[in-house]
Structure 1
Amino acid sequence: MRWWMERVSWVRRRTPKGDWDISLVPIRQRHMGTDFAHRVTADMAESVRRKGGRFQLETEVTDLSLADDGGFLVETTGGRIHARFLLACPGREGAHWLRETVGALGVRTGYGAIDIGCRVEVASSVYEELTSVLYDPKLVFVTPTHQDRTRTFCTNPGGRVRVEEHRGFRLVNGDALKAEKTANTNFAILNTVTMTEPLQDTAEMGRQVARFANFWGGGNSLVVQRLGDLLAGRRSKPETFFDAELGFDKLVPTLPPGPGVTPGDISFAYPGRIVRNLQESLELLTRVIPGVAHPSTTIYVPEIKFYDIRYPTSDDLETNLPGLFVAGDGAGKSRGIVGAAVNGIMAAKGILRAAGQAEREG
């Protein structure tokens, strides 16, 4: 067993197989940090420019249509672009727009699972035993009541909880800097949701859940709740959010109550089954990391990952519409930045092959 597996063997001892519905998926990772990631992407962009590539930043794509020559016409706020081949990587924010736009061109799409959950913030010391070995530990749960699958995601030791702006609603997310650390660690617990009858559109379901959660925040706002309040069955309130008698003074959140962040009750903001799953996941997690159960632990909603739209494609990520390739989270082909990067390489190779074949046939 590798040395880093040995260092997390205590997790497996605390989660004996068959006794508890929780397991650790150990992987090796390197943390770049949000601040250093900008340097890497800037270097990549410069490399593309040196090879003749051109970027149109802060440019919105407003429409997409087919050209008479079989290519594509892309309407943007910076003008029209004609392309023989097109790679669409909409990200989670643009996933719904792309589905509606390419659907009108005859591109086949389907629905997959969506992840709906919460962002949890604890003191860094609580999670340090695990994050000192695994920067982003992956813990998978099977909830006792409904036998649903949940998991931890996007752990940020010494990180910050952030507001994520979308069209028509707000979500919560988290990140961490490499050069500057906070006293807290945040992570998501995500509940995987699938739908069959009578509804299948998980993307629209997620949008409705996000808007409803923002509604319970008093408008376009996140809902934040102390774990002590959640377990006691009461809503969090501004006047008691840092109450010392309740133990809430032990953790100062990196995203405290204020404009756009409202103390409340996630059991009103989310469907009951999801709330139950999240609460049971936290209870399972406290068996491995007892400090998570402190009353001051802070929970934010809504956190939703929109990568549920599915595009049937070739191995090169080409859709049923010749010349149109898709990649990334918003196209349902990845669940994170590393997978999305691999997607880009796969699609690029596919475009080169398609272009070479077209040249030979032309």
Structure 2
Amino acid sequence: MFSNPTLDVPVRPRRLRTSGPMRALTAETRLAPANLIQVLFVRDGIDSPVEIASMPGQYQHTLDSVLPEVQKAIDAGVAAIDLFGVPKDEDKDAAGSVAWAEDGILNRAIAAIRQEFGEQIVIIADTCLDEFTDHGHCGPLSTDDFGVVSVDNDAAVEAYCKMAISQAKAGAHTVSPSGMMDGQIAAMRAALDDAGYSHVSILAYSAKYASAFFGPFRDAVGSTFTGDRKTYQQDPANRRESLYEAALDIEEGADMVMVKPATAYLDIIREITDFSPVPVAAYHVSGEYAMIEAAAAQGWIDRKAVALEALTGIHRAGATMILTYYATEAAGWLNQR
């Protein structure tokens, strides 16, 4: 008769995997609702929410419909929302000036949410111009002596400062410049302080890559953009550059720094976390969301399990804050564990 004698194996890591409670007891990473930031879009000129075709389950909201979404996030324990504005096409111009207009869609949305919810949730405002310019770039364009057209760095920074002040005035707790312009953090910090908003924090997009994962986002904000942003966003091949950019932003006064996208850049999240004295965020972007949704729709993956695994991996890499379209839903899943 065949027998299977016990092996002489004194070290058995499987002992700590024997049950759900044991695995929970020994888990090294604990993703929680408070680690999550719900990304929301508010669009001007619509009467009801519009589903984003390339991001199933995500919507461009009205000023009225966004409020219940914020309430859902609060009820689920989500720590913050990140708010993007989508203006009418006729309100866009070369400078993106509706971005800092008091009656612009983003500032109206910030004000409505702050009035309704006060300090119940952190309101992060996207502080960039790509949604507001008629050309879709993250700042005004200029042409050099050789006919090369590019984003005017310093003019863009000046616009970000005006935008940040208007967002702070509307009620944003945090402004979040994503344009990757040189010197933007120092200039915005000085502008906010001079305007009496020293209490408003800055979440810097310190390591934002010129990524193909951003594709569906352009549907979400109705972007008119063509071309690429390789002259101001980072090359996906580069690592040291991200560390340098993050260090510069921290030196200039960033209260938090971010890596975007997330899952293809876990090494960058970890390396920045290892030296950063400020919290590190990561943005689980539209393309990452869309790929999970598309595969799940085909029945190829378990949607919930894969989404939570992706978010846990981002947290494990070092991100204490994760901007994600799954935030409220994922928080609900975590609350049921």
The interval holding the TM-score normalised by the smaller chain is under 0.3
Structure with a larger share of its residues in strand:
1
* Normalised TM-score (structure 2): 0.22
Q: TM-score, normalised by structure 1?
A: 0.21
Higher relative CO (Cα under 8 Å, sequence separation at least 6) belongs to 1
